[in-house]
Amino acid sequence: MVRHSRRTLLLAAWYGLYQAVHVPVNVRGLILLRGRGALDFPAPPPPGGWDSQALAFFTGMAALDLVNALLSLVFVWGLFTGRRWALPLGLVTLTVSVYAALVFDYATYAAGAWQPPALGAYLFINVAFVPALWLYGQLLNRVLRSGF
């Protein structure tokens, strides 16, 4: 059984909560995008609305992000139960999460969506993700110092 620090477990619990919320948000987003081709939450549109290319991009991103969120929950469970495979899986899911966050932020910012009143939603999403970045750094540091 692999042991982890209290801080790592706390950060992993937050990441698990973040991803547990992410699952229904992504499912809702996929339903909205496939149904009416609109998206309002968690990505409030820019003043002119989302163009069709952005909606297609968000559909693909939401589908992949949903798979990653589910795998992230498996990682958190594995970490809390001391499974040896949890650390490599966590590094994969956190890498995907960080990449997705950066791409999502760039796409929404470049589209002009980061304006009041939607700005608050984007800031909330990013502030809530900061503990995941800290967890990612901790896990990377652990692997670089002592391996898997």
Q: Determine phi and psi for 38, rounding to 5 degrees.
A: -130, 155
Q: Which of 141, 142, 1, 132 is nearest to 69 (CA)?
A: 132
Using the predicted structure, report yes or no on whether residue 37 has a pLDDT greater than 70: no
Q: Determine phi and psi for 36, rounding to 5 degrees.
A: -110, 0
Structure token pair of residue 44: 């409030």
Mean pLDDT confidence for 33-55: 81
Mean pLDDT confidence for 36-60: 83
- At what angle are helices 52-80 and 6-35 packed, to 10 degrees? 150
pLDDT at position 96: 98
* CA–CA–CA angle 54, 18, 56 (5° rounding): 15
Mean pLDDT confidence for 26-40: 80
Q: What pTM value is reported for the model? A: 0.92
Residue-wise pLDDT for 86-108, tens only, equals 999 999 999 999 999 999 999 99
- Residue 92: C-alpha distances to residues 18, 72, 88, 109, 118 (Å): 16, 9, 6, 26, 30
